[in-house]
Structure 1
């Protein structure tokens, strides 16, 4: 028995030493918000930098599968935690607040500790002595683990780490950022990231760029505007790669160029709250929802339905099915018993989770309007996301390249929860029981 115990202890020590955190390794994760997988092979989209990384490294044929809801904050949290929303708890671009008899609201100005129910990769790396930086990354506000943090949150400078905020103010970038639009913001975020890499050389850098998402919302994907915005982002990826080269870290760095979700063009929007008003399940006063037994919070391709009165919840659930099961544009009305199939928590396990989900088809969106008498509103083409993650057009960009990545490696798909697991592995600090897996098929020498 003692001999077996000694051998087991030796094996554990050997395994642990094989994964000692490597302070001389670096991972850069660049997320291009709303960059669909199908753009990677679109000859009308100019992507010399991203395709060069792909050709020197690994990619997929289908893209990267995303988490439900397929919106920004939940999916960035999946990428940096290795688990889906059922575990990490982020359901919206903010914190939902459910109140009895009232419409559910979502507050975006919240800290990581309020939003995320599990440690992020930044937290894990700090415990093993590695450093990190995050520029415009969601759900990091108030983090005590990120050395340089400019979080994706309203009033972002209020929550930017003091050293970085002072540098931005002294350089004039803070004023330039405040006066600029989406393109200026992305440029400053990318240049700030490159400078941090050159000056401080953190082990993990996470950068989130936004202009493609806003362009797609306004015009839709597969448009001249969308393709042009994607090309601009490619040039910013090139700036970050150049920053790594100037820091002398090319032979020590792995890149992941990814996205949080794809995009779908829509020409019709459902207004379920208008129908709930007509049914008497919500009331309006002074242009606002005054009370609600049922209320829908839109997330693009789905509507999160909150049944706020416990006394009438069963009855109201039946009404939701009666109104929307066979409505034009609706692909499914999903009850909470099925939420785990979609990687989502049940409402009894997460106070902010809805009771029912209305999912719509390609070409349709869910809106929040409570005025009007008709469910459907037609309009000029726009774009949205938030559809069920099984919709192929929600598949996101995935490219991995650099140190440790096998040139020419191709997989059918990856899951976005694999990003944290693989990045941690490459840094010699594997995560403890993530839902995602290490993508050993694309690594040159798996440990």
Structure 2
């Protein structure tokens, strides 16, 4: 208990310092001593790939031959449980820090901070502001240790966190096709004008987009999986041609799954609470509500407790298994939608199709529909093993072990993924 408390205290202190201080002015760390460069030539590469919103059960549908190959030649988990809330930015940052969203500070895709203002994933200035991002992501630890890194649009990779960015990086651009992303990653490996990256991260959002628009049981969702799987096949072929495949530890994850949402199952947020009484900080599935001054009792009386489509709590009374609610960026009231329901502003709801099926995430991470993928193949991993389910905070300690660098304070279990290793 004492060691856990110390780790969490360190993580929270780092977050508060990041929120209160101006952006660090120190340059990106690129320490590459000659002896480090020599050891890098022998060190296996580490390549971390995210397929946003790929459900764990889709691996058994026979539509992703390259992912199946990786699982066959390496290890896969029955599933990986995302952190609460089961949203893109919080979970991508958890994967690379080992911290729960409540501890690293990216508590939602949309959030407010009393000093920094408003964060939205569509706001490039906020996304690129390192003060939002607490903890120490894996690329910062690697760069500090003299290991060059590269990132293709991994959330957090655009920001100077502790004054450090990946040596090579590409900001998110949805117009860049999956194969073109693979080409850029391979190009980074080919470029001899700078030290070869020892850690690379790569992000694909196409499965998430198809899932939101058409639902996880749709042909469009399956086709998006096939498209990304083909790009991963291209990556494997490219690594093999370069003699790099068998010296690369390659890990494929997803941030969360995807649930089916009937179009008519929408709660209008203005019907949940009056905008004169409260600010709706975030909507969708994990709904954050901040009562306006003097309206606290009225808003709590209206919201707290169970409702037919959702449940609401004070932030301090959220289910303990979610490890959520202590961060100042979490609004005073959190309402969790039941699976298959959305909460949207009236104007946004009117823009959505009124019939048919679509998809969403952000639901209770314990639901089967929210289960995420973990596959790993390479010289460090066993062959043909299936791992028991684990939490996604456990990925970060594995990454630090593979890179041979010290782990920053985190919430993961360093023993959890030892069964994956040779």
Common fold: TM-score over 0.5:
yes
What does 1:191-230 correspond to in 2, within 5 Å?
191-199=183-191, 201-230=196-225
**Per-residue Cα deviation, 1:66-88 (whole angstroms, up to 9, x for no partner):** 01111111111001111111111
* Cα displacement (A) at 1:135: 0.1
The two structures have a TM-score, normalised by structure 2, of 0.80
- 1:106 and 1:31 mapped to 2: Cα distance? 20
Q: Which has the larger radius of gyration?
A: 1
- 2:132 and 2:118 mapped to 1: Cα distance? 16
- 2:288 and 2:99 mapped to 1: Cα distance? 21
Q: Is it true that 1:106 corresponds to 2:85 in the alignment?
A: no
Q: Residue 273 of structure 1 aligns with which residue?
A: 269
- Aligned residues of 2:110 and 2:281 also touching (Cα < 8 A): no
- 2:384 and 2:238 mapped to 1: Cα distance? 24
Q: Is it true that 1:76 corresponds to 2:60 in the alignment?
A: no
The two structures have a TM-score, normalised by structure 1, of 0.76
Q: Is it true that 1:306 corresponds to 2:299 in the alignment?
A: no
Instruction: Give unmatched runs, 5+ long, in structure 2.
Output: 1-35
Q: Residue 337 of structure 2 aligns with which residue?
A: 360
**Per-residue Cα deviation, 1:351-397 (whole angstroms, up to 9, x for no partner):** x211122112222122233699x9xx964211111112111210111
* Cα displacement (A) at 1:414: 2.3
Match of 2:324 among 333, 338, 344: 344
Identify if the C-alpha distance between structure 1 residues 380 and 104 changes in structure 2 by more than 3 Å, giving closer, same or farther.
farther
Match of 1:27 among 46, 52, 59: 46
- Aligned residues of 1:297 and 1:368 also touching (Cα < 8 A): no
Q: Residue 179 of structure 2 aligns with which residue?
A: 187
- 2:135 and 2:94 mapped to 1: Cα distance? 10
**Other structure's SS at 1:187 match:** helix
- Aligned residues of 1:59 and 1:409 also touching (Cα < 8 A): yes
- 2:188 and 2:379 mapped to 1: Cα distance? 20
* Cα displacement (A) at 1:335: 2.1
Match of 1:440 among 392, 395, 418: 418
- 2:287 and 2:348 mapped to 1: Cα distance? 16
Q: Residue 293 of structure 1 aligns with which residue?
A: 278
- Aligned residues of 1:186 and 1:210 also touching (Cα < 8 A): no
- Aligned residues of 2:215 and 2:258 also touching (Cα < 8 A): yes
**Per-residue Cα deviation, 1:251-284 (whole angstroms, up to 9, x for no partner):** 321111111110001014433422146xxx324x
- 1:76 and 1:333 mapped to 2: Cα distance? 25
Q: Residue 275 of structure 2 aligns with which residue?
A: 282
Identify if the C-alpha distance between structure 1 residues 105 and 424 changes in structure 2 by more than 3 Å, giving closer, same or farther.
closer
**Per-residue Cα deviation, 1:266-325 (whole angstroms, up to 9, x for no partner):** 014433422146xxx324xxxxxxxx5242521x3321222232x33233222212xxx4
Instruction: Give unmatched runs, 5+ long, in structure 1.
Output: 1-19, 157-180, 284-291
* Cα displacement (A) at 1:97: 5.0
- 2:267 and 2:408 mapped to 1: Cα distance? 43
- 1:136 and 1:297 mapped to 2: Cα distance? 23
What does 1:162-181 correspond to in 2, within 5 Å?
none
